[in-house]
Structure 1
Amino acid sequence: MEANEDLESNVGLHVQGQIPDLLPLSLALTAESQAQSQRESSDTEVASSATGAIASGLCLGSVQSSQDSPTKGIKRKSDFEENNDDDGNVCPICLSEWTNSGKHRLVSLRCGHLFGQNCIERWLQIGCAPGQKRCPQCNEKANSSHIRPIYARKLVVIDTTEIDRLREKLDEITTIKSRLQFELVHANLSRQHLEEQLNKLKQENKELKTSSLSDTNSLPSIPLSQNKRLHMMIRANEIICKEGGCRVLAFNEWLNLLVVSQCSTNRLFSGYGIRKINALDFRPTQFAFLHQKPIRDMTFQPHQNKLLLSVSLDRCAKLFDMTSNSVVQIYNADNPLWSCCWDEGNPYKFFAGSQNGKVLEYDTRRVGDLVGRAVEGGDTSPVVSLASFPPSPGRALSRGGFFACRLNSCWAYELQDDGYSSQLLPFQGPFFSLFYDKSTDHLLVSSRPSERFPSTRHMLHQMIQSNDSSNGQVCSPVDTFSGGNSQKLLSRPTLMSLQGGTMVAAHDESSRSVVVWDVASRLRLYKHQIQESVVDLCYFQVNTSQYLANLTEKNLQILEFK
């Protein structure tokens, strides 16, 4: 019985009924043999009937014979059952019922059509021309080796139309479900990201509220004296470069010109250059291409005010003529350059700080020649800031020189007959900026948060007189102004002289604001909110007006003091 079920599954048919006992089948085979002899005597009639059945493509009803029936002795079906089931019980060649054993047993071809065994064998041997053997039902090529026995008595074709339709509907619903599940996962990730941003904004809002409540010095104006008040207003807000790439500012007081470094917006000339800003109306004017890579620092020549010195990560220092809009000289280096300054004691020399910690000295009278270099204490971190100080007989470091601020250490270099002598400054790093104001001899050094100092610090020092430097110190501390607990960018703070007082201006990343401290009162005067991170601050004067320029990677904002 298990073998029968396996064969049924292999041919893909549904079987009903039981295989009859052998004794009734023996009687049926005897009757079949007699009926076959009679059919052979009238082959012409049978062939004619088979040909008619094939040509018409119809499955005729079973032919009943009380004398020649091969199933004599087996109970006949009712007329209702014959009319509904005879399509699956008769051989389409002889139109007689097939059996499950004997010569007229149920067989099939490879194409799947069913016949009596001896009928299909004779059809393939006699009814077809040599080499043209085909199935009488579908005309597909066939031969005797394609005949397969079917172990069944009664065949019933199951209508699977509704099942197939439901299966297609199920596949469609499964596809929709998979798509919805993917969209749900994507929506959950987006929701999680938005929740993180919301929590971050809530935390920043809480910190701002706490800072505002705890510090009464964050008012928009604070009296400097009993008769003076200082106000700050936004004078201009210009988009310099939508693509970003702005880094440093420089002001030319003789030309009333503010210069901003930015990336080139011309697709044919990719790289970096400068944008000129008229300091009278603060409108961007010309763009001049200079370097292939970002500009890290630039400064005007203090004696020849039309010359602009710029250094870049493309290992070049260039002199640019502002009047002719052309590059005058190019100086190459072995490493990317991060900072520069002119020598206050010699108008022909300038210094350039490199990425590997070296300070390079150049002379404009010797084109392309390197005059000297300085490396101290094994500190090979980039030189982020350079500032030159002039000779002064009554002050420490009286012969003049320059300050060099690396990421890990700050040094003072004094000019000597055979070069420069160096001295380590007593500041705690890591550092990100150094600014020197020669009008007040103030030195502003800014350091990042560390384990020892968890907040950003802006340390203001005063260069001491020569008679006070017996212990080897070159500067004395004035005050330290603390910022936030985050400082990722190498932003550049600055010193300002307002109404006879000195002020410190710096960007605070934690509160996203520009903060101004008064040195005399040691109080914070302003906290100007700005959404983008400020990379450079530049204080300048035009006639009697005083301004503070805030540069981000895309925008330039001008604040005016009243």
Structure 2
Amino acid sequence: MPNPSDYIALGSQSEEETEPELEEDSEETEEEQQEEGFIPVMESPRVLAEKESKNGEATVCSNAGESGENSQGNEWNRGDIDGLFCPICMEAWTTTGDHHVCCLPCGHIFGFSCIRKWLQQQGTTKKCPQCNRKCTLKDVRKLFASRVVAIDGESQKRIQSLEAKCISLDKKNAALIKKEAEWKKKEAEWKKREALLQRELHQLKEKTIYLEHLLDVKPRTLGHPPSMGGYCVPSLGSEFNGQGPFILQKELGVDGARLFDIDASSKIILMTRRLQGLGGMHVLTKMSLVAPYTRQDISLPTGSKAVRDLHICPSDGSLSLFASLGKKLSVLSTKINNFILAYDLPAPAWSCSWDLNGSHQIYAGLQNGSLVVFDMRQTARPLEFVNGLTSNPVHTIYSLHNSTLPSGVTAVLSASSAGICQWNFGGSEERQPVVLETGNQGACISLAYCPSSDDIIASFRPRIDNSNEMAYSQHLLTPAIGQGVQGSHVHLKRFGSNCYQKLAVTCANVNDVRLPRSAVMNIESHGCLFASGDELTGELVLQELPSFTVIQHLKLRKQPIYDIKYVHDVDGGLLGCLCDDILQLYGNHALK
């Protein structure tokens, strides 16, 4: 017997839906019909082959509900079995034998033996058991098929309805996905906008601080214009007409600034800052020296970390050099506010310098005591790399004029806590560093150099026994700690290519932890002056060289001093001092 699932048949039509009865066949008696009999129908070879290949699996179903219950574990309902069995005997029909599946002209299906008995018992009025449509025994047709499949109209409609719903849901889902992507894009744009507004708000706060400082300074400027920002030493009053050489011109609020440099020709200041409220992000800020002192923040290259040193190119003010603790030596173009070069270093960079004899060569002092030379025209690898005499960080490096050096040779001064060295690069001869003799002054913590006069000032503090340079050579971005101790300033002057003479030594109040900054200024017709911070008085002290005579004390609004720079232009000299969040600019009226 075949499996019930082999055949699916349509449900029988109701009597209300029967078609009109056809005309009765020509007058034939029941006896004549019985005498005529039926023409035996032979199964085709194809059907026989299919039955043999299926090993006799030809029956439609077996024993109705029992096999279904055993295989499926539940009872058949009428909707499941309707059309699988002969509606007369309620037995499953077969594809062979007396109960062969057959149909009437009206389309209803029965077992052959059942429909034959039914029609024979009807007498002259022979009708379909289901629709009452007239028929005769001759109209019975055996069906030969491996499967009889009929589609349920209601199920088909339901399937089509569900497919339409699926298509509709797919469209809605696609629309929602599109809207979600649009909202994510808008969210990213709003976050970017929020960051820009936060930065603008920060800049406005800085401008407010600057204006508050300006309002505070204005009355003092009107009351005491000559000596504003400091007081004069009476013994030198005659030289500067009873005044110090510098007067305060501007005070600018610069939150988080630690280093700066001035481009006098372009009237801009470039500084490094650490922003508050943005995860301590380090940025560069370009500020105009012309009111209203507009500012632009410039992002550092990825992985740069904090900037340890910066210098504007002396021959091309549109280029700036940065040394950072992220093992980067970078070159910025202030014309486009973008970095044009970024060199990877083997160790964190503590100092950097432009070559004074050309704009192509740059230098970097590393944390491990090494020095690196790069040619900006050859970016593949360093031009020179030398190991230092010690592993102490090179906290300061300066390029020297090569007017007294052999052709093709360049020289730099480097300073670490161990002392000061001159390094020569280029040429065919083997180079040995020249160690400058400063006496037993202690640990070198600062170096200032004036290229126009070859004056050098090295600052020292007492050494600490069994100390580690990395523990005491604090980074400039470290908060102000420590206290003032008795140190010294040593004045050296360069003669020739490798000769130095120690001219003077003076005591100084220096910090016992931080690395200070200082500057040597060559003022025309008045010699050289040295600017440095006094840790005990909290003042910016100007001293005349080589005597170290104090000529002016400049009052500072805050402590500590982070950086000191001096530039000279056609309008005179400009001395900048960066304290805690305030940049004070002093003009040299002696040059005007």
**TM-score normalised by the shorter chain: which range applies?**
0.5 to 0.7
Describe the SS at the equivalent of 2:352: strand
Residue 543 to residue 392, structure 1, CA distance change in 2 (3 Å): closer
**1:130-154 per-position Cα deviation (integer Å, ceiling 9, x unaligned):** xxxxxxxxxxxxxxxxxxxxxxxxx
* Displacement after TM superposition at 1:462 (Å): 1.0
**1:490-535 per-position Cα deviation (integer Å, ceiling 9, x unaligned):** 1110011235221100011122111111115531112223331001
In structure 2, how many angstroms separate the alpha carbons of the residues matched to 1:494 and 1:227? 20
Residue 485 to residue 249, structure 1, CA distance change in 2 (3 Å): closer
In structure 1, how many angstroms separate the alpha carbons of the residues matched to 2:409 and 2:569? 32
Matched residue type, 2:356: E
In structure 2, how many angstroms separate the alpha carbons of the residues matched to 1:247 and 1:549? 13
Residue 325 to residue 505, structure 1, CA distance change in 2 (3 Å): same
Describe the SS at the equivalent of 1:484: strand
**Alignment partner of 1:544 out of 561, 565, 571:** 571
In structure 2, how many angstroms separate the alpha carbons of the residues matched to 1:440 and 1:282? 36
In structure 2, how many angstroms separate the alpha carbons of the residues matched to 1:478 and 1:487? 25
1:477 counterpart residue number? 502
2:423 counterpart residue number? 413
TM-score normalised over the length of structure 1 = 0.55
In structure 1, how many angstroms separate the alpha carbons of the residues matched to 2:427 and 2:546? 39
Q: Is the 8 A contact 1:295 1:312 kept in 2?
A: yes
Does residue 1:240 correspond to 2:254, yes or no?
yes
**1:70-123 per-position Cα deviation (integer Å, ceiling 9, x unaligned):** xxxxxxxxxxxxxxxxxxxxxxxxxxxxxxxxxxxxxxxxxxxxxxxxxxxxxx
Matched residue type, 2:249: R
Residue 443 to residue 289, structure 1, CA distance change in 2 (3 Å): same
**1:340-386 per-position Cα deviation (integer Å, ceiling 9, x unaligned):** 01122343111111111111111211224222212233x10110000
Describe the SS at the equivalent of 1:309: strand
Q: Is the 8 A contact 1:460 1:478 kept in 2?
A: yes
In structure 1, how many angstroms separate the alpha carbons of the residues matched to 2:571 and 2:325? 37
Q: Is the 8 A contact 2:349 2:364 kept in 1?
A: yes
**Alignment partner of 2:517 out of 484, 487, 492:** 492
Describe the SS at the equivalent of 2:536: coil
In structure 1, how many angstroms separate the alpha carbons of the residues matched to 2:464 and 2:533? 21
**1:176-224 per-position Cα deviation (integer Å, ceiling 9, x unaligned):** xxxxxxxxxxxxxxxxxxxxxxxxxxxxxxxxxxxxxxxxx97466536
* Displacement after TM superposition at 1:227 (Å): 7.1
Does residue 1:384 correspond to 2:398, yes or no?
no
Alignment of 1:204-215 (within 5 A): none
In structure 1, how many angstroms separate the alpha carbons of the residues matched to 2:545 and 2:290? 29
Query: Which stretch of the first structure deviates more once superposed, 361-370 or 312-321?
Result: 361-370
In structure 2, how many angstroms separate the alpha carbons of the residues matched to 1:547 and 1:383? 28
In structure 2, how many angstroms separate the alpha carbons of the residues matched to 1:455 and 1:381? 23
In structure 1, how many angstroms separate the alpha carbons of the residues matched to 2:554 and 2:318? 33
Matched residue type, 1:239: G
**Alignment partner of 1:461 out of 492, 496, 512:** 492
In structure 1, how many angstroms separate the alpha carbons of the residues matched to 2:431 and 2:280? 39
Alignment of 1:268-283 (within 5 A): 271-281=281-291, 283=293
**Alignment partner of 2:267 out of 243, 256, 265:** 256
Alignment of 1:220-231 (within 5 A): 223=236, 225=238, 228-231=241-244
In structure 1, how many angstroms separate the alpha carbons of the residues matched to 2:573 and 2:382? 39
Q: Is the 8 A contact 2:308 2:351 kept in 1?
A: yes
Query: Which stretch of the first structure deviates more once superposed, 415-424 or 494-503?
Result: 415-424
For the aligned residues, what is the CA RMSD?
A: 2.9
Residue 284 to residue 507, structure 1, CA distance change in 2 (3 Å): farther
**1:478-501 per-position Cα deviation (integer Å, ceiling 9, x unaligned):** 222321154422111001123522
Residue 221 to residue 235, structure 1, CA distance change in 2 (3 Å): farther
Matched residue type, 1:535: Y
1:77 counterpart residue number? none
In structure 2, how many angstroms separate the alpha carbons of the residues matched to 1:440 and 1:396? 20
In structure 2, how many angstroms separate the alpha carbons of the residues matched to 1:282 and 1:516? 30
Q: How many residues align?
A: 334
Alignment of 1:350-369 (within 5 A): 350-369=362-381
Matched residue type, 1:415: F
Alignment of 1:383-462 (within 5 A): 383-393=394-404, 399-418=409-428, 420-427=431-438, 428-450=441-463, 455-462=486-493
Describe the SS at the equivalent of 1:376: coil
In structure 2, how many angstroms separate the alpha carbons of the residues matched to 1:306 and 1:505? 27
* Displacement after TM superposition at 1:281 (Å): 4.3
1:189 counterpart residue number? none
Q: Is the 8 A contact 2:351 2:365 kept in 1?
A: yes
Alignment of 1:180-191 (within 5 A): none
1:45 counterpart residue number? none
In structure 2, how many angstroms separate the alpha carbons of the residues matched to 1:485 and 1:536? 14
Residue 491 to residue 282, structure 1, CA distance change in 2 (3 Å): farther
* Displacement after TM superposition at 1:399 (Å): 4.3
Q: Is the 8 A contact 1:330 1:368 kept in 2?
A: no
1:323 counterpart residue number? 335
* Displacement after TM superposition at 1:339 (Å): 0.2
Residue 485 to residue 316, structure 1, CA distance change in 2 (3 Å): closer
In structure 1, how many angstroms separate the alpha carbons of the residues matched to 2:448 and 2:408? 19
Residue 227 to residue 249, structure 1, CA distance change in 2 (3 Å): closer
Residue 454 to residue 375, structure 1, CA distance change in 2 (3 Å): same
Q: Is the 8 A contact 1:343 1:349 kept in 2?
A: yes
Q: Is the 8 A contact 2:445 2:459 kept in 1?
A: yes
Q: Is the 8 A contact 1:353 1:384 kept in 2?
A: yes
Describe the SS at the equivalent of 1:373: strand
* Structure 1 unaligned blocks of 5 or more: 1-216, 467-472
Residue 397 to residue 240, structure 1, CA distance change in 2 (3 Å): farther
* Displacement after TM superposition at 1:455 (Å): 2.1
Query: Which stretch of the first structure deviates more once superposed, 357-366 or 441-450?
Result: 441-450
